Amino acid sequence: MHQYVLLLVERLRMTVGELVMAYACVERVLVLHPTTMRVNSIRPMLLGACIIASKTSRDGDLGMRQVAPLPLPASSHLRST
């Protein structure tokens, strides 16, 4: 696991803060949902958390004017039967 974390840090060029954020995310999930911890689930969870932590800390804040509005659903999809 140590080598896996070092590989993630190197490939994603993560800072210490980003790594701590990723670890905190994984830890929070495991505290809230202990049944999610499986032998094959920790590495993908850590990878996802590292990507999210890196993206979150590197992107600037978006204002509402920068976010494209989502299209409203067509009324034909909302028909009740």
Residue 52 lies in a domain: yes
Residue 48 lies in a domain: yes
For residue range 7-36, list pLDDT tens digits in order.
889 998 999 999 999 999 999 988 888 887
**30-58 exposure pattern, b = at least 16 Cβ within 10 A, e = fewer:** eeeeeeeeeeeeeeebbbebbeebbeeee
- Number of domains the chain contains: 1
What pTM did the predictor assign? 0.65
Residue 74 lies in a domain: no
Which residue range forms the structural domain that includes residue 16? Answer: 2-58
Residue 73 lies in a domain: no
Average pLDDT, the chain: 79
